[in-house]
Chain A
Amino acid sequence: MNPKIERSLYIVVILVLAFVLFTLGKKEVELKKQIPITAEELYKKLSNPKIKVQIIDVRELTSSDEVGGYEDSRIPGALPFPNCDESKMTTENLKEALKRINPYVYTVIVSTDGNQEIFKKCASKFTNVQNLAGGMKAWQDAGLPDESGEYTPPKAGGGGGCL
């Protein structure tokens, strides 16, 4: 066979396979968005240092309800992003948190009770995102570790978000 034709054939096959892989990858991300992650599954992922997970807490900073706000009780390492609204990120610490939010990293959205509407609003800002089923309430009910207090950016050189 003519080497040029043979080479072109190989390249076409590789391009077709790459396209199929890309399409399936996109479908996987879309499907993941529709399936919420449970508190136990998230805990397992957070315990695995090989998996990079970004947790975005969309609750208000303080709240009088049973679950509380971000500063009352949160998943360790969670970044505050109240209501997924940039205009609410007014203090220095919140502005620093906003800078740390990476839209291209696998992200889990944490609301009070896993509200779908707030999740849909936030999901548009991230490429690979899942909702926490039952929200912070489910995390607390499962007795999983949490932390409290005002958000403080991790110091340079230090790790963050470990359980």
Chain B
Amino acid sequence: MSMTERLLFWIAIIVLIAATFGVKGKVDNLEKQLSQASQQQPANGGNQQ
């Protein structure tokens, strides 16, 4: 296996890891927003009743 081939594999792995962390960050942020929204909804519902 040549060094060029090895380097290309490593570039692909690093790009995928970076993309995974990026998407993971977005998912965490969305989960946080969703939990905040679901906490607000019962509170509002409680006030209405």
Q: Using a CB–CB distance below 8 Å, which chain A residues touch chain B?
A: 3, 6-7, 10, 13-14, 17-18, 20-21, 24-25, 27-28, 31-32, 34-35
Contacts and interface: CB of A to CB of B under 8 A. Distances in A.
A21 B9 contact: no
The interface size bin for chain B is 10 to 19
A3 B9 CA distance: 13
A27 to B, nearest CB: 5
A14 B13 contact: yes
Contacts of B17: 17
Contact of B13 (A7, A10, A31, A34): A10
B16 A35 contact: no
B37 interface: yes
Interface of B: 1, 5-6, 9, 12-13, 16-17, 19-20, 23-24, 26-27, 30-31, 33-34, 37
Given A14-B9, A14-B12, A24-B20, A35 B34 contact: yes
Contact of A28 (B1, B23, B37): B23
Contact of A17 (B1, B13, B30, B34): B13
B33 A10 contact: no
